[in-house]
A and B are shown apart, each in its own frame.
Chain A
Amino acid sequence: MAKDMRDVYAQTLVDLAENDDRICVLEADLMNATGTKVFKQRFPERMFDVGVAEANMVGVASGLSAEGKIPFAASFGTFASRRTFDQFFLSANYAQLNVKLVGTDPGITAQFNGGTHMPFEDIGMMRLVPNLVIIEPSDLVSCEALIRAAAAHQGSMYIRMHRKGSNTIYDENEQFELGKGKVLVDGTDVTLIAAGFVMVPEALKAAEILKKEGISAAVIDMHTIKPLDNELVLAYAKKTGAIVTCENHQVTGGLGGAVAELLTAEYPALLGRIGAQDMFGQVGTQDYLIKAYEMTAEDIAQKAMATISKK
């Protein structure tokens, strides 16, 4: 059976913990959803399930961090961000501690849990926290590499993590560096900058569609949304003159917002943004929702062509 991304998350933490007694795991009654039961089985003394109390989870994680531990605390992205924002902001970040907060089920992947559970705003909120590093892995290989990078990074992080399902974009030996985007496809007419499990594959498909139209599209996996890889974005803005951001999130505040802010300040270039357009989530299958929010490869290709046409 194919592994889910959550299994990679949990197993990577177990592997890290084998050699590092600072690694701890916290859950707020979602251990079975996040898949960290394997961690509890291996390291019961370093696993704390605080019950349905996300604010306390982040506070306890901060206390553990103050004592030198490296806590990974997870919940659904809605609750990891909205419910714990003040705790994460103050007890973890303002205090300059080292808490890795994991928000699962990003955007439309919340599916049938609907609007209450569909985080379209978590990255936007988290981008406002000074010095916070924000990552969103796009496949299982990058998930493992980035979780390892997160453990090694001194400072709090928000990790936006897909939970169920598996895909492969990278070879297993691919190296990743926080803050350095990955150029997956090179191109000259437009650059598709995508993040996450849903949107990076869609952007790759969109590049294929565009190729058939005679358009050369570059694709970048922006696995680190903050700090944004400014150098790479600006290089491709200059190279292609048109950018389309692709995110499973509101187009404001997140990846699209970050790219827009950078371009406006440094190198104004044509920009199209794919993602939720100031809308709440809703119930649906992922296939239904990706169409409802106009985030499919076809939508990206159309947005790319519309953006290029303004050149």
Chain B
Amino acid sequence: MSTSLAIGLDERVSQLEDTARMVRINIIDMIHTAQSGHPGGALSAADFMTALYFDILDIRPEEPRWVDRDRLILSKGHACPVWYACLAMKGFFPMKELKTLRKFESILQGHPDMNKTPGVDMTTGSLGQGLSAAVGMALEGKMTGRDFSVFAVVGDGELNEGQIWEAAASAAMYELDNLVLIVDANRLQMDGHTCDVMNMEPIDAKFEAFNWEVHSLDGHDMRQVLTALEQAKRQKDGKPVCIIARTVKGKGVSFMEDVRVWHGKAPNDREYERAMKELKGE
């Protein structure tokens, strides 16, 4: 790689890190305003979601259903504050909408709704379903010869769902190399650590056994994330790609990190102030 490109990558990484910090601030802000929501899994997904929306995805905020856009499905739908933050910051809808999360008649429902939120490509909320829909979208892309990629995001707890493995088998069977699955492996689910509740490790070996191309990485190392996503999107060798993002639930807010209760709890005013100070580096 030439020096100039290497510097380019450094700059991209550095800008994305700043953006990810803003995404996290918006996540905490909107969940605090709503006084309900799921901060833990939104924060763990913040880095790769930022890389996708601010670097990787071919999208047009002014034309959310642009036919050749890259698709994204957040199958772990409860983490949608991270999605809403990215979409608003990208310009799919006004930033002020973030204050309406989970409010009556808001375009920002408690779980993603493709009919209400510009930029949301699939309605989700019942775990395990999003990857199947992503397979359907990727099949359509293959069928019509259009050159878009489909990204699906699942949680590691979500891998408990049998439908994930039905979908995983079909994605490999249909050679969907236009499909990229990101596993947000934050190691926590509702009832405790994934290894204690229902251990799905080794996740990488499972997807390899299902004939996927698998990359495992530090989901908070923006350089690794960016490089892997770029490669996954480019890779066209007849295999779907699974990126296992090793993450920390609640990442970025010290008292939320790796603490189970922050799966689905809003910060109170005091916690909010503390979280904001940390995220803003004050």
A contact set with B: CB distance below 8 Å = 45-46, 48, 50-51, 53, 55-56, 58-69, 71, 86-87, 90-91, 94-96
Contact = CB atoms under 8 A, between A and B. Distances in A.
B143 A56 contact: no
Given A55-B163, A69-B140, A60 B135 contact: yes
A53 B169 contact: yes
Nearest to B143: A45
A303 B143 CA distance: 54
A67 B148 CA distance: 12
B134 A63 contact: yes
A46 to B, nearest CB: 7
Contact of B139 (A48, A58, A90, A91): A48
Contacts of B141: 67
Interface string B112-128: 01110000011111101
A51 B170 contact: yes
Given A55-B128, A60-B170, A68-B140, 19 more contacts: A50-B170, A51-B170, A56-B167, A59-B135, A59-B163, A60-B133, A62-B129, A63-B132, A63-B133, A63-B139, A64-B137, A67-B136, A87-B126, A87-B132, A90-B125, A90-B129, A95-B114, A96-B115, A96-B123
Contacts of B114: 66, 95-96
Contact of A59 (B113, B115, B121, B129): B129
A61 B139 CA distance: 10
B261 to A, nearest CB: 27
Interface of B: 113-115, 121-126, 128-129, 131-141, 143, 162-163, 166-167, 169-170, 173-174
- B125, B132, B135, B136 — which one has the most chain A CB atoms within 10 A of its CB? B136
Contacts of A69: 140
A311 to B, nearest CB: 49
B139 A60 contact: yes
Contacts of B115: 95-96
Residue among A46, A50, A60, A95 with max Cβ neighbours from chain B (10 Å): A60
Contacts of B129: 59, 62, 86-87, 90-91
A56 B122 contact: no
Contacts, number: 102
Contacts of B132: 55-56, 58-60, 62-63, 87, 91
A91 B135 contact: no
A51 B168 CA distance: 12
29 contacts: A46-B143, A48-B174, A51-B170, A53-B163, A53-B166, A55-B162, A56-B167, A56-B170, A58-B132, A59-B132, A59-B167, A60-B132, A60-B139, A61-B136, A62-B136, A63-B133, A63-B134, A63-B138, A64-B140, A66-B133, A86-B126, A90-B124, A90-B126, A90-B129, A91-B124, A95-B122, A96-B114, A96-B115, A96-B123
Given A87-B129, A96-B115, A63 B140 contact: yes
Contacts of A48: 139, 174
A65 B141 CA distance: 12
Contact of B133 (A51, A59, A86): A59
B122 A55 contact: no
Given A56-B132, A62-B133, A95 B167 contact: no
A68 B115 CA distance: 14
A59, A61, A95, most chain B CB atoms within 10 A: A59
Nearest to A52: B166
Contacts of A46: 143
A94 B113 CA distance: 9
B170 A65 contact: no
Contacts of A67: 136-137, 140-141
A45 B134 CA distance: 18
Nearest to B146: A67
B166 A66 contact: no
A90 B133 CA distance: 11
A62 B124 CA distance: 11
Given A53-B170, A60-B132, A95-B115, A87 B137 contact: no
Contacts of B166: 50-51, 53, 55-56
A87 B163 contact: yes
A48 B137 CA distance: 13
Given A63-B136, A64-B136, A90 B123 contact: yes
Smallest CB-CB A-B distances: 4 pairs:
A63-B136, A59-B132, A56-B166, A95-B123
A65 to B, nearest CB: 7
